[in-house]
Structure formats: structure tokens, C-alpha cells
Amino acid sequence: MQKSVDLDLQADGGVRQGVIPKQLEETERSKFVTMLAYAVVVMLSSLLFNTPQEIWVGFQRLTVSPSILVSDYMEIGNVGAAFFNSGLLMIVSIYLAKISDIKMNGTIVAAVLTVGGFAFFGKNIYNIWPIFIGVYFYSRVQKESFGKFILPALFGTALGPLVSQVSFGYDLPTTTGIAVGIFCGILAGFIVPPLANHVIKFHQGFNLYNIGFTAGVTGTLFMAFFRAFGFENPTTMIAAEGYNFELSIYFGIMFISMIVLGYLFNGRSLEGYDDVLKVPGQLVADFVTSHNFGLSLINMGLIGLMSTGYVILVGGEINGPIIGGILTIVGFGAFGKHAKNIVPLFIGVYLATLFQVWEVNSTGALLAALFGTTLAPIAGEFGWKCGILAGIVHMSMVMNVGSLHGGMNLYNNGFAGGIGAAILVPILIALKNEPETE
């Protein structure tokens, strides 16, 4: 008589063999593993587009490029090199969070995917380290752990082009350029943490890219000194074309996988997502902490599909900068953005292009739409009409502030968003609180 085999009991907690679990267990380990898995997949995806030799050559080219806005690494290097760079920088970010004993909450998820997104246009394995070192020095001066400043460190890599432009863009002797570039990056990294704590009061948390505003101020300071000595940055717009079919399929699969994983983490349910949509999004709105990782993944995948769909619907090109915008939105799907509060911003930017001088499907206008969702808390707090207004204001603002920092700040929309929020929010609060007259 054949012995029956109990397939129900497992050493890891009772999951049946060969059966998809009803719920993936949400632990710090599972969250880190999930984020690391996406980073590794992005890195390995480089082989779908180029050979290892091509990737290496392209990776070298993008690493020594000046990298100021807008410098598409898919064009400067190649598509495979850009994917490899993105995956690598995501892994570095996750590793720094892990060794700093930081939990994988919404802020870290947002930071990791933002770094990965901007690794397609402006951040690379050379120019991020001086920023990290500067933040580390600041932590030592403050006699605090580096982990306390992990967010200014990760988001502060917005100033990576400051390092690269000084190192490779000013025709300085190689050794001098690299030495001065690294020094400027360390100094900028040292400045960012204290400044970030201060400027959040300027926009009252209605600009999700607070470090973007901080980096804009810092970049403007450095650019003012450079111009005083006769150094100027060229207007740059390097953007790849012709990859919509492949990349829309690739990222479509990625975002659908997030929804599926989130569904499993959330007990094979969408229950609770309506609660996420009720959150205005004003800093600090950490969906991983306030709700759970599963609902955050569902939200991330959904707004990723929406963002990609917007680009395709208006006839835009999916290139390095646009991927950066989409992945940043996805990252902040764990930290303030959701399907309800980003749509008014899309509509506002779209309407602005109908009567302003910019084409709706140009890279600049698409970046304004994608990164303009930094003002999503305005739509969440004051309603969709105010969100549309914020999008219109942002479209005009973002096209005019880049010259202040000379493209040194990759988070140009965060800089513009901070100014826009500082103008709009006090007015909207005053109107909201205005007593009704009989």
C-alpha cells in the first residue's frame, strides 16, 4: 500500500507545493527581495538590446559624458548600456539602504526607482559617489548615522551633472577637472541635507520632489559662481527616438507584474485601494507604512501604465528622459501619488500645450506632464480643478527655471514645482478658508 504524502506541510510555513499562495508574506526581507529583483531584471534586460561588448563601450561613454539636462544615455551610450546603468544604480541604492538598517518604506521605494529612472539620463556610477560622500561627511559632523540622511543622499544625486559637467564639460585638464568635479559634488552633498529640511516650509509639503527644489537652489548657487568665472553650460537636448514598440511592451509587462505581485501581497484582493485614493498626498504620505506594500505595488503598477499610456496617446517618444519620468511616477506610487491625484496634472499640462508654444508630444512637454505630478498633493487636497490649474502653471514655470542652474539639477521639475506650489498653495488656502457671505 502506497503511503500518502502530506503536501500541505512545508518547513517555510505551510504553503502547498505547486500552488500559488493566497498571500505573499509582507516582511522587510520580502520587500527588499522584491525591489532587488526588479533592479536585477532591469540590469539583465540590457542584454535584450545589446551585446555585452556594446554595453560596456556604451557604459563607458555615458559615464564620462557631461550629463547635463537633457542627456539621454540611450543615445549617448546605447539602450543596453542605459538599462545596465539603471539596474546598477538601483542595486547600489538598495544596498546603501540595507547596510544603513533602513526599512523598505515608501520613501525608499520612491528613492530607488527615482535613481533608477534618472540613470537613463544624467546619473551614473561616477557622478553619484561624491554626493554620497558629501552627505556622509555631513552626518559625521552632526554625529549622526548615515542612515538618518539616506534620503538626501539618494535624492541628492539629482546634482550628479554638477560632478560630470565640471569633470568633463569645461575643457579643463583631465586630472584637474575630475578633482574639482569631485570636490564640488562633495560640497553639494554636504549642503543638501540641512537645506532640504529648511525649504520644505517654502512649499508646505505640496511639492513631492522636495530634494528637487533643494537641488535647484544648490545648483543655482554653483552655477552663479561658475558664470562669475566665465564658465557656461550649453543648452542640451539629446533624446533617442524609435523605441516605442519595444519599450512600451517591456514596461507594460513590468507594471502589470507589479499589479499582480501587489494583488498577491494584499491577499489576492484589491481591498483597501479605495482608501489609498482618498489620501491627498501631501508630504509625508507613505503608502507602504500607512497601508501596505501590496497596495503600494498595485498603485505603482497602475499609475505606471497610465503614465506610459499618456505618452503613447499624445504621440510622444519613449526615450531615456521619458523612462525616467515614468519610473519616478511609479516610485512615488508608494509615496504620495495615485491614480486620482495625478490625472488633473496631466490634463493641466495637456491643456497648456494647446495655447502655449510647446508641442504636446515634445520631450520637454512630456517631461513637464510626467514630472509635474510632483504637484499631485494640490489636486488631492484642493480638488481636480485646482490640480488642472497647477498643471497649467507648472508647464510655464518649468520651461523657464532650467537656465538658473544650467542643467546641473536633474530634478528641474522639482525646482519648478516648489516655486509653483509656493505661489499657488497660499492663495488656494486663503480661498478655501474664506468665510461665506450671506
Query: Alpha-carbon distance 374 to 346, whole Å?
Result: 11
pLDDT at 432: 77
Element (H, E) at 310: helix 293-313
Confidence of residue 362 (pLDDT cuts 50, 70, 90): very high
pLDDT at 92: 97
pLDDT at 12: 40
Least confident of 106-120, 202-216, 244-258: 202-216
Percent of the chain having pLDDT more than 70? 93
pLDDT at 201: 82
Going from the C-alpha of 278 to that of each of 267, 285, 385, 416, 424, the distances in angstroms are 21, 11, 16, 26, 22
Query: Please, which residues have CB within 8 angstroms of residue 257's CB and are 6 or more apart in sequence?
Result: 301
Query: Please, which residues have CB within 8 angstroms of residue 260's CB and are 6 or more apart in sequence?
Result: 301
Length of the chain in terms of residues written = 438
Query: Please, which residues have CB within 8 angstroms of residue 401's CB and are 6 or more apart in sequence?
Result: 216, 412, 415, 416, 419
First to last CA, the chain: 89
- Classify each residue of 376-386 as buried b or exposed e, where b means 16 or more C-beta atoms within 10 Å of its C-beta: bbbbbbbebeb
Instruction: Name the average pLDDT for the chain.
Output: 91
Confidence of residue 349 (pLDDT cuts 50, 70, 90): very high
- Write phi, then psi, for 71 (nearest 5 degrees): -120, 100
Mean pLDDT value across residues 267-289: 91
Confidence of residue 16 (pLDDT cuts 50, 70, 90): very low
Quick check: 41 pLDDT over 70? Answer: yes
What's the pLDDT tens digit per position in 113-162?
Answer: 999 999 999 999 999 999 999 999 999 999 999 999 999 999 999 999 99
Quick check: 14 pLDDT over 50? Answer: no
Residue 113 identity (one-letter amino acid)? L
Residue 436 per-residue DSSP state = P
Residue 50 per-residue DSSP state = S
Confidence of residue 175 (pLDDT cuts 50, 70, 90): very high
Helix intervals (H) in 100-232 = 106-118, 129-141, 150-155, 160-168, 174-203, 210-228
> What DSSP letter does each residue of 247-293 carry, written as one string?
HHHHHHHHHHHHHHHHHHHTTS--TTHHHHTT----SS--HHHHT-H
The reported pTM is 0.92
pLDDT at 22: 61
Mean pLDDT value across residues 378-387: 94
Percent of the chain having pLDDT more than 90? 83
Does the CA dihedral 204-207-209-215 come out positive or negative? negative
> What DSSP letter does each residue of 6-32 carry, written as one string?
--S--TTTSPPTTS--SS----HHHHH
Quick check: 19 pLDDT over 70? Answer: no
Query: Please, which residues have CB within 8 angstroms of residue 426's CB and are 6 or more apart in sequence?
Result: none
Q: How many CB atoms lie within 10 A of CB 146?
A: 18
pLDDT at 304: 97
Confidence of residue 200 (pLDDT cuts 50, 70, 90): confident
**Cell (9 digits) for 304:** 505606471
Of 97, 94, 95, 61, the C-alpha closest to 80 is 61
Query: Alpha-carbon distance 298 to 262, whole Å?
Result: 5
**Cell (9 digits) for 150:** 539616506
Confidence of residue 74 (pLDDT cuts 50, 70, 90): very high
Quick check: 226 pLDDT over 70? Answer: yes
Query: Alpha-carbon distance 396 to 408, whole Å?
Result: 20
Of 237, 194, 238, 195, the C-alpha closest to 213 is 195
CB-CB contact of 80 with 47 (8 Å): yes
Quick check: 235 pLDDT over 90? Answer: no
